[in-house]
Structure 1
Amino acid sequence: MAMDHDCDELPKEKAALATFFQLCAEKNLLGRPDGLQDDDANFAINDETTLLRFLRARRHDPAAALQQYVEATHFRKDKQTLAIYDRIRVADFEAARGVYPHWIGRRTKHGLPVCLAHVGNITKSSIQGWKEVRYLDPTPSDDPSSSSDAENPPLRSIDILQLAALMFDHLTRVAIPLCAAVDDRREKDTPLTGSVILADASTLTMMQGFDLRGFARDVSGLLSMCYPEIIDKIIICHCPAYMGAIWKIVKGWIDPVTATKLVFLTSGEVYPVLSEIIHDEDLPVQFGGKLEFQHGMLPDLDESLRRALRCDGLVPGPLKCVHDEQGRVKIVAVGCVDGQVRNEHVATLE
């Protein structure tokens, strides 16, 4: 099953994309970057769909898209996100899943990945959890805080932007390509670039509004710079009566592009709105649907995805797409467990 897409857009967009490709080629941006393994798919790195996202974010201005793409490429290189993604401790990745938005294994009626966030889980203490995250260093470290003997392999810490990037990479390198490849997707010839985030705000407090400011600034800024156009809508559900006051606290800290994608719904508005875009069986029960799913759980794949992957579910920790000798796309589990880096086959896309 093909994972790439033909750009079947308006002639103006096609021409702009061709120019953008040429500019990237001239800057040597279409090769394999540091940290990408030989068999790794280049989804969300420099494939056509990714470049199209950057182009659309800059309103089809190839020069402006190139400038942003160069900045994103430098961020990825400087922060070593590709290497860290392969070597983060699986337990740390799963802890972060309980804080950040993540794919639930389901899709909207138009095939976009449905992601879930729970605003109540974004607290001052949980946000600080990135300080405890470690990854296995591929080379011995001179850092006295890192271990280097055989029983305690060298582990290094990361920063909050690196952790956020890993979580968004899971969406862009795995969830979006999988959803794009399913046979029953509408408009299969149209590149699938975005997702929908459902955020449960039922337990949001005024104090959290203050705690969220820095987190909102960092995450929305990262989204806008390095992951443009991966979010179609962020739907804040079960907004409390004082949501307006909280919004006044945080809106100045949110990137303006991200802010335009926010939709606020009261409890009475949630199901009528969401049922228009998501089937009941793919909508979590807390929003009026039939899916028993809570934030932090592993993706619960829909029937079409299970058939395509010939498996019932995915495994904990970071995943990525690779190409096998026959050119098929395989899902492998990476990250490290007990000081050992994983490279375990999970499924093959048929």
Structure 2
Amino acid sequence: MLWRTKSNHSQAEDLSRTASASNNDPAASATAAAGTAWLAGHLKHLTPEQEEKLVEFKKVCAERGYYTAAAGEKPASHDDATLLRFLRARRFDVEGAWGQFKDTEDWRKENAIESLYENIGVDSYEAARRMYPQWTGRRDRRGIPIYVFEIRHLNSKEMAAYNSTMSSAIPETHKSSSVPARLLNLFALYENLLHFTMPLCSALSRPNPETPIVTSTNIVDVSGVGLKQFWNLKSHMQDASVLATAHYPETLDRIFIVGAPGFFPTVWGWIKRWFDPGTTSKIFILSAAEVQPTLTSFMDPASIPKQYGGELEWQWGDMPNLDEPASELLKGAQVQEGDKKSLLKGPMLFKGDQIEVLGTENGKDRRNTIPVPTAQQKPISEATEIADKPIESASDADSTPVPTENEKVAVNIDQVPAEEAQTTTAAA
């Protein structure tokens, strides 16, 4: 199907005009070029003022009964990287961060999130995994995990089948929960991001090993999706975006939208209301010609799926295709499938020296602990280099970096003119 505007311009022409309009906006251009300032406000890259705010935040949370400092061999109730996510989400406003942190902790307790993740059935977890962004098993040049979300697979038939099976797949620990099963499963996917994928990526060699990985990069493929399908998926996509904004703040590095039809500005009009301005500034739309050069400026070609101009053998629905370092750390958590090994399905925790296998299979608890080989962190000079320019430290964050040619083609879709949203469809 080929999407065209009422004036019969092609999709490429629409995207070109959108790009021109956005690039003429200094704010949009600065947002697109600021990617390498990502370390500012992160652990080990704080300004003196931010260090003081972190200390103050801990004190506030402790006084109000929501945080316990480390004591002897007992770790703190929350690590600094987690607390900093809430502070960054509120631009280091302590009271603002406290409000969101308290709401999140209350929400986690009310919904027994840890118990949910520990007891969810593997089949239910796998069914949910196929309905939301999936980890490819690879990381970008900074070590951030790369997820892919192909919207076209979520047709009405697939959605109906998923929703009908979820009601009978609720963990025993949550049978009395008033929360819909589809949301419970979504919670579990976010827990996997926080407690398996991110700590695993933090343990692997990368340019800045002093700073934990706390975000993900997403390629969202909207090719072949009609306006009606977008509308039907509205609540499905809204669930994930609202949940992330409310209870998993600052876990998004970027979203690259590829394959966008000419009517996408209409869809963006709905979507942007689900996010705060900080999140919308991280979402970029790429034309077909921009996909490969833009993605390779952030990712090695070996880590980009072939369908997006890279070399990685990975298709929607596949389990993560691990690179050699990740495969080595997870070799005890892989099973042989045909002529290759595959990561175990279902919920797991990565705890540095061990992997905890969680969940139930055929109604039986499958908990198990798998030792992790000792990882040898490579010196920064041996890690994958960042394309085009070095990563900035917090002290560099206030200076505006010069955009590379690849960064210039990324379009901030919050700047799409409203008049370009009027479109019709035509069969190819």
Counterpart of 1:210 in 2: which secondary structure? helix
The gaps in structure 1 that reach 5 residues or longer are: 33-40, 144-154, 323-327
Q: 90, 101, 105: which one pairs with 2:133?
A: 101
Give the letter aligned to residue 171 of structure 2. L
| SS of structure 2 residue aligned to 1:68 | helix
Please give the alpha-carbon distance, in whole angstroms, between the structure 2 residues aligned to 1:197 and 1:345. 30
Q: Structure 1 length as normaliser, TM-score?
A: 0.82
Counterpart residue number, 1:320:
349
Report if aligned partners of 2:199, 2:212 keep a CA contact under 8 Å in 1: no
Distance in 2, Cα, partners of 1:59 & 1:335:
37
Distance 1:321 1:223, change over 3 A: same
Identity of aligned residues (%): 30
Letter in 1 for 2:346: G
1:297 corresponds to 2:334? no
Output the amino acid matched with 2:187: A
Over the residues paired in the alignment, what is the CA RMSD in angstroms?
2.6
CA distance in 1: counterparts of 2:92 and 2:275, whole angstroms: 24
Whole-Å separation in 2 of the counterparts to 1:195 and 1:12: 27
Give distance in 1, aligned partners of 2:59 and 2:206.
Answer: 30
1:284 is matched with: 305
Amino acid paired to 2:172? D
Could you say which residue in structure 1 is the equivalent of 2:183?
161
Q: How does 1:130-145 map to 2 (within 5 A)?
A: 130=163, 132-133=165-166, 134-138=169-173
Q: Which residue of 2 aligns with 1:75?
A: 107
Give 3-state SS (helix, strand or coil) of 1:23's partner.
helix
Deviation at 1:347, TM superposition (A): 4.8
- In the other structure, the counterpart of 1:247 is 268
Of Structure 1 and Structure 2, the greater helix share is in 2
Partner of 2:65: 28
State the number of aligned residues.
Answer: 317
Task: Please say if 1:117 is aligned against 2:149.
Answer: yes
Alignment map for 1:149-228 (pairs within 5 Å): 158-182=180-204, 184-228=205-249
Distance 1:333 1:158, change over 3 A: farther
| Runs of 4+, deviation exceeding 4 Å | 124-128, 155-158, 253-257, 310-313
CA distance in 2, matches of 1:130, 1:31: 39
SS in 2 for 1:307: helix
Tell me the CA shift for residue 102 of structure 1.
Answer: 2.3
Question: CA, structure 1 residues 249+18, in 2 after alignment: closer, same or farther (shift >3 Å)?
Answer: closer
Distance 1:123 1:254, change over 3 A: farther
Structure 2 residue identity aligned to 1:348: V
Which has the higher relative contact order, 1 or 2, with Cα contacts under 8 A spaced 6 or more apart?
2
Aligned position for 2:22: none
TM-score norm. by structure 2 comes to 0.68
Look up the SS of the partner of 2:252 in the other structure. Answer: coil
Q: 1:348 and 2:348 equivalent?
A: no
Q: Aligned residue for 2:359?
A: 335
- The reply to whether residue 17 of structure 1 matches residue 39 of structure 2 is no
Looking at structure 1, the residues matched to 235 and 163 of structure 2 have their Cα atoms a distance apart, in angstroms, of 14
Q: Take 2:159 and 2:171, find their aligned partners in 1: how far apart are those partners? A: 22
Contact map agreement 1:130 1:158 (CA 8 A) in 2: no
